[in-house]
Amino acid sequence: KRVVSGSEELVKVWDVEAVTQVCKPQGHSGDVNSVGFSPDGKLAATGSDDHLVKIWNTETGAEVCTLKELREHPIAFSPDGKRVVGTQGHGHVTEGRKAMATCDVETGEMVYNSEGSADVSSVAFSSDGKRVVSGAKNKLVKIWN
């Protein structure tokens, strides 16, 4: 059983039962403000003020990929662990970017993007991985196919 934590530029993966630090992935240059595990616990995603989402191996701390299409928080893994959904630019539609994007974890490539609400503050996949729900500060909840 593992816990991932982020603060300042640090990411840490902890073994809850042994109460020990398993690894300390390094690579962000801004405060880490969003973290999430893949369903199998083998990968962790971190979002940072450096405007990058990074995927890490939770055993070794090695960087698996950087998702350049995503821009920090919020982030969530699909139920199969193959995709990550997140926002682009703090959830705002800016600079020709859409508000939300889904990226392939293995390639780091964007597989889908959508015009979500401005200021998206939460995202999640449905249990079958076919839909994404987003919540925004403007009190709108949207479900995407």
Longest dimension (CA), the chain: 47
In the predicted structure, residue 97 carries a pLDDT above the cut 50: no
CB contact at 8 A, 86 and 100: yes
> Which one-letter DSSP state was computed for residue 69?
T
pLDDT at 10 over 60: yes
- Model confidence over 126-140: pLDDT tens digits? 999 998 888 877 788
Please tell me the predicted confidence (pLDDT) of residue 69: 64
- C-alpha dihedral sign at 128, 55, 8, 115: negative
Which amino acid, one-letter code, is at 40? Answer: D
- pLDDT score, position 38: 92
Confidence band of 116 (pLDDT split at 50, 70, 90): low
- State the pLDDT at residue 33: 81
User: What's the pTM value of the predicted model, to 2 decimals?
Assistant: 0.77
CA 55, CA 133: separation in Å to the nearest integer?
21
Is pLDDT at 125 greater than 80 in this prediction? Answer: yes
Q: Would you state the pLDDT for residue 115? A: 64
Helix residue ranges, H only, 23-105: none
What mean pLDDT value characterizes the chain?
79
Mean pLDDT of 22-33: 82
Q: Counting Cβ atoms within 10 Å, is residue 58 exposed (0-12), middle (13-18) or buried (19+)?
A: buried
Rounded to whole angstroms, the Cα distance separating 40 from 18 reads: 19
